[in-house]
Amino acid sequence: MSSSDDMPDKPSSGVSRRSFLKGTGLVISVPLVSPGVRAITVQGAEVKIFGPDKAPISLTINGAPRKVTVEPRTTLLDTLRNELDLTGAKPVCDRATCGACTVIMDGKPIYSCSVLAIDAEGKKITTVEGLEQNGKLHPIQQAFVDNDAQQCGFCTPGFVVACKAFLDKNPSPTPEQVQRGLGGNLCRCGTYIGIRAAVAQAAQSQTKGGRKNG
Amino acid sequence: MAEYKWPEANKRVHIGKRISRIDGPDKVSGKAKYTFDINRPGMLWGKIVRSPFAHAKIVSIDTSAAEKMPGVKAVKVIQGPGTEIQWAGDEIVGIAAVDKGTAEDAARAIKIQFERLPHVVIEADLDKVPADRRNPTADGKTGDPDKGFSEAEVTMEGLYGNAMITHCCLESHGQIAEWTDESNVLLHPSTQSVSSVGGQLAQSLKIPAGNVHVKMDYIGGGFGSKFQIDRWGVECANLSKQAGGKPVKLMLERDSELMVAGARPSIYSKVKVGAKKDGTITAWQSETWGTGGMPGFGTLPIPYVFTNIPNQLKKQLSVATNNGQARAWRAPNHPQCALITMSALEDMAAALKMDPVDFFIKNIQLTGVRANVYRDELLKGAEMIEWKKNWHPRGEGAAGSIKRGLGLSIHTWGGQPHASDCDLTIHPDGAVELKMGTQDLGTGTRTVLDIVAAETLGLPLDAIKVMIGDNRYPPSGSSGGSTTVGGVSSSTRRAAVDALNQLLAKVAPDLKAQPDQLEATGGKIQVIGDASRSMTWKQACAKLGTQPITARGKQPGQGTLASSNVGGVQMADVSVDTETGIVKINKLVAVQDCGLVIDLKTAESQVYGAMIMGVCYALFEEKIMDERTGRMLNPNMEFYKLAGIGDIGQMQVHMMTGPGYDDRGVIGLGEPPTISPGAAIANAVANAIGVRVGTLPLTPDKVLAALGAKGGSNAKV
């Protein structure tokens, strides 16, 4: 992957790709934090290096801390589904095209099939299982039921989460905004007409209730 | 003898109303567990190593390195050295390992040597297909084609086609298999055939049919591709056995799903139509070919719907290609044959300078016994899309680079009920349970069962516990060909009527009436029309003492509750950008009959969904094969494109219900509305730009090429 060495340094969370590569030269002297995790200091900040073995990580999911031990190559989606039995997010395209695996990370909808679990540490993750409150469906979930915005239902949890994130950002969307803003999720059964109606209903109920985040 | 019929329209409480699907809350909250979601204790991850070549002989397989890897629990050669592989992606070695990563590592460690053989994967140009790959399947002649064409005052010739597409179920094919003891298997499949897939597996494993217990609560799409246990199902069970019976989850990866687990045959046809100047069709001639992979496909219904065109000459070839095998795809063959026929007929109308609605109605008697239904549906569709206002003669729209056009298509489907058994139990505490070995593909089958049982017993929907998805429940047919709703609603109605009659017999003495003077309504048992002589459902059931009632309802059975044969019309309004070639759907309308509608809300969803699936194959879908490598070039969802929420335009559905429709009984609806969209959209594009884009999908390159052949986007079209 030599071509990516040409990428400019863009430090994020205190470490750039180049400084990371420099850091890996010191790997022999790196202290072991716990099995599978090492720590180095880069530009004054401590940075964890995972792998190649399984490493323990802590995730914050639906408000609760969850500890799992995964290989660094494990995606957030596989971690949710295979380690934590949170199977609402679905594996479909496996490469950030269809949106069936959508979860919310630090307020933004993401494709969990294309985020590594180790990169989700320290971030707030909301899955479809975390939308219900006090055993009651979230208004967008209820709107999906009321408008039959689902058939086989395999894309539905991802769509519900994407709609929640979309409405948080666009409380009163126009039809054009809906069609653009929800273009990152695909359905095979063809439930888009119901989804459009569901988004309209949920937007209206949120506006009426004066609530933004349900 | 009980009488089995549906309640009169004015007495229906649930049937025909807009009812939300009962499993909706579980689906929107992630609680619905699909096969892919099931995690069993100690479960292993299964994976299959597949052929990279479309046609090759396996020379050698070395699994030794994989077998030695830590965490690998089973390795099994599925097709050994000497086997001739006929398509890329075919199964060669199966692996079960402790987790996904280990299974992937093991797959990479398996070495297979092949001797490559010549392949054929492209059939659009028949002249380039070797002779030994062309198999004549059916030639047909009716009337006197020569005479028919000599009587014609206008003849039209065209070439139409549709590439091979794939099912692309969002939940890929696969299953979890485990041996619960030496001779019993627990199978969680993703299947359209809960009641029969276990028997298929048992046969392959050489164990008694009853020894495979099948369970499936939810399935993430099937569309006709999930009827069989498939080789990966059998090998999953074999891997489990090799691993000491541990559960093995083996779900296809997306690329495998698109390469081998779904395919709809392609079709191409050279058509000639003859007609009189007044629009009367006199003759049809077609030479049709296509592929369903290996070995080919069967006889096609061409000309479609207009089956009574008087003079016909038809040739048909099936091309054997090194492509994954075709599977039934929602309304098998009908969408392709609708495209061929309706395109040719609209081209004929254009040649005659006739409005296609008038042309279709002029010839409507050629559609047979349901001609009047088609006429009514055509007129209704024309009203919905404002045909008279928006239609213009072909290519004669407004000036500017964006051209708008309208097109139409009509279709038919059988949808007769499949065999179905239903057990309905009324407990002394008033609880009602319904058990059936059926499956809900997302069509709303659970909800249909609930509605029919609740309607019959005079109860609210939440009073019925619906239990499906287990082959230990009474057997019900596979869900395919729109056969489910008729089958399951009939058996449920009979079970509920019989169970109710037994209950009425128990309580009649207390109400000082004969059982046939009683009715169940509004949560009560009462003397018909006399609410003062009644008891609550709970009080009535208490009379059973300790013994519940269980009644088995069957389809087929007494009385006619379901039938078959429906018609439908769809019309499309599109805009085509003649500078970019991009086709945009403005509006699609559907007019559809399906006999008695059980749940209007989920029925309409079926039609909307079918139309959207139609937009997908009309504009985007194509299994693109590479001539040189023999492989599918787009086995992923970036390049195997489906329509998104912004690609479908506006949609409107009208269900033909009421007298003349309701009294036909229940008829399946899944297939018919997916047949016409491709043809209607292709016709609308032709109407917009004045030139036929012959083959689906209507991608920008093809639109521009068609415009170019006509003289470029700025030429008068």
Dist CA B500 CA B511 (whole Å): 15
Q: Quote the pLDDT of residue B1.
A: 56
Q: Quote the pLDDT of residue A35.
A: 79
- Contact B99/A at CB under 8 A: yes
Q: For the segment B372-381, what is each residue's pLDDT rounded down to a tens digit? A: 999 999 999 9
Contact between A150 and B24 using a beta-carbon 8 Å cutoff: yes
Confidence (pTM): 0.94
What sign has the CA pseudo-torsion B513, B514, B515, B519?
Answer: negative
Mean pLDDT of B179-194: 98
Q: Is residue B394 within 8 Å of residue B690, measured between CB atoms?
A: yes
Read off the pLDDT band of B296 (50, 70, 90).
low
Q: Select the residue of B33, B616, B646 nearest A179 (Cβ to Cβ).
A: B646
Q: What is the mean pLDDT of chain B?
A: 96
Dist CA B396 CA B379 (whole Å): 23
Read off the pLDDT band of B710 (50, 70, 90).
confident
Q: Which CATH number fits domain A139-209: 3.40.190.170, 3.60.20.10, 1.10.150.120, 2.40.128.20?
A: 1.10.150.120
SS3 annotation, B128-158: HCCHHHEEECCCEEECCHHHHHHHCCEEEEE
User: Among B96, B25, B88, which residue's Cα sits nearest to residue B66?
Assistant: B96
Read off the pLDDT band of A210 (50, 70, 90).
very low
- Contact A54/B at CB under 8 A: no
Task: Indicate if B206 and B89 belong to the same structural domain.
Answer: yes
Length of chain B: 717
Task: Indicate if B515 and B586 belong to the same structural domain.
Answer: no
Q: How far is CA B37 from CA A28, A66, B5, B30, in A?
A: 41, 19, 40, 10
Q: Is residue B331 within 8 Å of residue B675, measured between CB atoms?
A: yes
User: Among A4, A195, A92, A125, which residue's Cα sits nearest to residue B173?
Assistant: A92
Q: 3-state SS of chain B: helix, strand, coil percent to 5?
A: 30, 30, 40
Listed residues B555, B580, B612: the one ending a domain: B555
Task: Indicate if B609 and B584 belong to the same structural domain.
Answer: yes
Q: Residue B505 belongs to what H/E stretch?
A: helix B484-507
Instruction: Give yes or no for residue A15 having a pLDDT over 70.
Output: no
Task: Indicate if B293 and B377 belong to the same structural domain.
Answer: yes
Q: How far is CA B184 from CA B194, B201, B207, B214, B498, in A?
A: 17, 11, 8, 11, 35
The answer to whether residue B545 sits within a structural domain is yes
- Contact B244/A at CB under 8 A: no
Q: For the segment A42-92, what is each residue's pLDDT rounded down to a tens digit? A: 888 888 888 888 999 999 999 999 999 999 999 999 999 999 999 999 999
Task: Indicate if B568 and B531 belong to the same structural domain.
Answer: no
User: Among B151, B168, B270, B717, which residue's Cα sits nearest to residue B703?
Assistant: B717
Find the residue in A nearest to B330 (Cα): A189
Instruction: Give yes or no for residue B541 having a pLDDT over 60.
Output: yes
Residue span of the structural domain in which B522 resides: 9-32+417-555
Q: For the segment B118-163, what is each residue's pLDDT rounded down to a tens digit? A: 999 999 999 999 999 998 887 899 999 999 999 999 999 999 999 9
The DSSP output letter for B484 is H
The Cα of B332 is separated from the nearest Cα of chain A by a number of Å equal to: 17
Read off the pLDDT band of B690 (50, 70, 90).
very high
Residue B572 neighbours by CB under 8 Å, 6+ apart: B406, B407, B408, B585, B587, B588, B677, B680, B681, B683, B684
3-state secondary structure of B170: coil
* Order of all β-strands in the sheet with B44-50: B72-77, B91-97, B44-50, B248-251, B174-181, B184-189, B212-214
CB neighbour burial string for A71-102, b if at least 16 within 10 angstroms, e if fewer: bbebbbbbbbbbbbebbbbbbbbbebbbbbbb
Q: For the segment A143-199, what is each residue's pLDDT rounded down to a tens digit? A: 999 999 999 999 999 999 999 999 999 999 999 999 999 999 999 999 999 999 999
Q: For the segment B18-51, what is each residue's pLDDT rounded down to a tens digit? A: 999 999 999 999 999 999 999 999 999 999 999 9
CB neighbour burial string for B572-599, b if at least 16 within 10 angstroms, e if fewer: bbbbbbbeebbbebbbbbbbbbbbbbbb
Compute the count of residue pairs across chains A and B with CB atoms less than 8 Å apart: 180
User: Among A77, A75, A19, A78, which residue's Cα sits nearest to residue A49?
Assistant: A19
Within B299-439, residue ranges assigned H as helices are 334-351, 356-362, 371-384, 387-390
Instruction: Give yes or no for residue B256 having a pLDDT over 70.
Output: yes
Q: Quote the pLDDT of residue A148.
A: 98
Listed residues B223, B251, B279: the one ending a domain: B251
CB interface of B with A, residues 208-227, below 8 Å? 218-223
Question: Radius of gyration over alpha carbons of chain A, in Å?
Answer: 20
Length of chain A: 214
Instruction: Give yes or no for residue A31 having a pLDDT over 90.
Output: no
User: Among A114, A80, A51, A83, which residue's Cα sits nearest to residue B99?
Assistant: A83
The answer to whether residue B457 sits within a structural domain is yes
CB interface of A with B, residues 24-53, below 8 Å? none
Task: Indicate if B625 and B651 belong to the same structural domain.
Answer: yes
Find the residue in B nearest to A195 (Cα): B645
Domain total in chain B: 3
Q: Quote the pLDDT of residue A209.
A: 56
- Contact B613/A at CB under 8 A: yes
Mean pLDDT of B311-321: 94
Dist CA A15 CA A10 (whole Å): 8
Six-digit token pair at B362? Answer: 């002029």
Mean pLDDT of B103-122: 97
Instruction: Give yes or no for residue A23 having a pLDDT over 50.
Output: no
Task: Indicate if B671 and B622 belong to the same structural domain.
Answer: yes
Question: CB-side exposure of B93: number of CA atoms within 13 Å?
Answer: 25
Find the residue in B nearest to A140 (Cα): B28
Dist CA B474 CA B487 (whole Å): 13
Q: Region of A49 please: left (phi>0), alpha (psi -120 to 50) or beta.
A: beta
CATH number of residue B62's parent domain? 3.90.1170.50
CB neighbour burial string for B442-474, b if at least 16 within 10 angstroms, e if fewer: bbbbbbbbbbbbbbbbbbebebbebbbbbbebb
Q: Quote the pLDDT of residue A143.
A: 98
User: Among B56, B260, B242, which residue's Cα sits nearest to residue B168?
Assistant: B260
Dist CA B452 CA A156 (whole Å): 26
CATH number of residue B509's parent domain? 3.30.365.10
The answer to whether residue B406 sits within a structural domain is yes
Beta-bridged to residue A195, according to DSSP, are none
Read off the pLDDT band of A205 (50, 70, 90).
confident
The answer to whether residue B676 sits within a structural domain is yes
The answer to whether residue B190 sits within a structural domain is yes
Instruction: Give yes or no for residue A11 having a pLDDT over 50.
Output: no
Mean pLDDT of B231-243: 98
Task: Indicate if B422 and B402 belong to the same structural domain.
Answer: no
CB interface of B with A, residues 22-61, below 8 Å? 23-25, 27-34, 36-37, 39
Beta-bridged to residue A132, according to DSSP, are none
CB interface of A with B, residues 69-128, below 8 Å? 71, 73-74, 78, 81-82, 85-95, 97-98, 100, 127-128
Task: Indicate if B53 and B199 belong to the same structural domain.
Answer: yes
Q: For the segment B423-441, what is each residue's pLDDT rounded down to a tens digit? A: 999 999 999 999 999 999 9
Task: Indicate if B440 and B484 belong to the same structural domain.
Answer: yes
Read off the pLDDT band of A207 (50, 70, 90).
confident
Q: Quote the pLDDT of residue B287.
A: 96
Tell me what percent of the residues of chain B surpass a pLDDT of 90: 95
Find the residue in B nearest to A154 (Cα): B220
Task: Indicate if B272 and B366 belong to the same structural domain.
Answer: yes
Listed residues B510, B527, B555: the one ending a domain: B555
Domain ranges of chain A: 2-50, 55-130, 139-209
Task: Indicate if B398 and B489 belong to the same structural domain.
Answer: no
Q: Which fold has domain A55-130?
A: Ubiquitin-like (UB roll) (3.10.20)
Six-digit token pair at B278? Answer: 């007044």
Q: Quote the pLDDT of residue A40.
A: 86
Higher pLDDT, B170 or A8: B170
Q: Is residue B678 within 8 Å of residue B696, measured between CB atoms?
A: yes
Q: For the segment B44-58, what is each residue's pLDDT rounded down to a tens digit? A: 999 999 999 999 999
Six-digit token pair at B385? Answer: 């899309």
Mean pLDDT of B645-654: 98
Q: For the segment B507-535, what is each residue's pLDDT rounded down to a tens digit? A: 999 999 999 999 999 999 999 989 999 99
Six-digit token pair at A168? Answer: 């948080």
Q: Is residue B425 within 8 Å of residue B473, measured between CB atoms?
A: no
